Structure 1
Amino acid sequence: MAPFLKEFFPDVYKKQSEIKDSSNQYCKFNSATLTMFTSSLYLAALLASCVASYITKAWGRKISMLTGGITFCVGALLNGAALSVWMLIVGVDL
C-alpha cells in the first residue's frame, strides 16, 4: 500500500506517516483526490449494474458475462499501467 500511496497520493502518504494515533479513522487525511478516487469506485459499480441489467435482458447472460470480463481486463490493464490519478479513475470506471 505504501508504494501506491507514494506514487499517486503523496500528500496522504506523508500525513499517514506523521499520524501515530490510529483511533480516529474519519477525516484523517482530508484529501479531495483520494475521496474522488474512492467515490469513482462506487459510481462505477452503480453504472455497471444499471448497464448490465439491460445487456443481460437484451442479449443473455453469456454475452453479458463475456462483456463484463473483457471490460474488467481492459480496466485492470489500464490501472496496471497508470501513471496518474486520472488514469486510475478511468480504469476503475471501465
Structure 2
Amino acid sequence: MDPFLLKFFPEVYRQKQAASKTNQYCQYDNQLLQAFTSSLYLAALVTSFFASAGTRILGRKWSMLASGFTFLVGAALNGAAQNLAMLIVGHILLGIGIGFTNQVRDCSLR
C-alpha cells in the first residue's frame, strides 16, 4: 500500500509515517482519500436507482453486458491511472458497473 500512497496520496503517506511513531489512530485522515473510497459506493447507490428503468428498456441481457463493460473500463482506468482524477473517475465507473449489476440481479430474482 505504501507505493500507492506515495504516488496518489503523498500527504497521507507522510501522516502515516509520522503517526506510526506516536499515534496509531487517524493515520488515513484525508478528505481526498475519503472521496476516493466513497466514490465507488456513491456511484453504485445512485446508479441502482436508475438501473431498473434501463433494464426495462434494454432488457436483462444488454443491461448486464453494459454493466460489465462499464466495470471493465473502470478497472482498466484504475490500472492505468496517472493521477488522482483518473483514479476517482475509474472508481466511479466501477461503482456504476456494480450498482447496475446489483439492480439487474435483484430484478431477476423477483
Correspondence for 2:82: 83
> Could you tell me how far apart the structure 2 residues matched to 1:69 and 1:41 are?
15
Alignment of 1:1-94 (within 5 A): 1-20=1-20, 21-22=23-24, 24=25, 27-94=26-93
- Once residues 28 and 57 of structure 2 are traced to their aligned partners in structure 1, the CA distance between those partners, rounded to angstroms, is 44
1:13-67 per-position Cα deviation (integer Å, ceiling 9, x unaligned): 1111222243x3xx44331211211221221111221232221122221111100
TM-score (norm 2): 0.73
Task: Percent identity, please.
Answer: 53
For structure 1, list consecutive stretches of 5 or more residues without a partner in the other structure. none
Deviation at 1:2, TM superposition (A): 1.3
CA distance in structure 1 between the partners assigned to 2:18 and 2:56 by the alignment: 51
* Other structure's SS at 2:46 match: helix
Report the aligned-residue RMSD.
1.6
SS in 1 for 2:55: helix
Query: Aligned partner of 1:77: which letter?
Result: A
Q: How many residues align?
A: 91
Q: Where does the alignment leave 5 or more consecutive residues of structure 2 unmatched?
A: 94-110
Residue by residue, what CA displacement relative to the aligned partner does 1:60-89 show, whole Å, maximum 9, x if unpaired? 211111000101111111111111111111
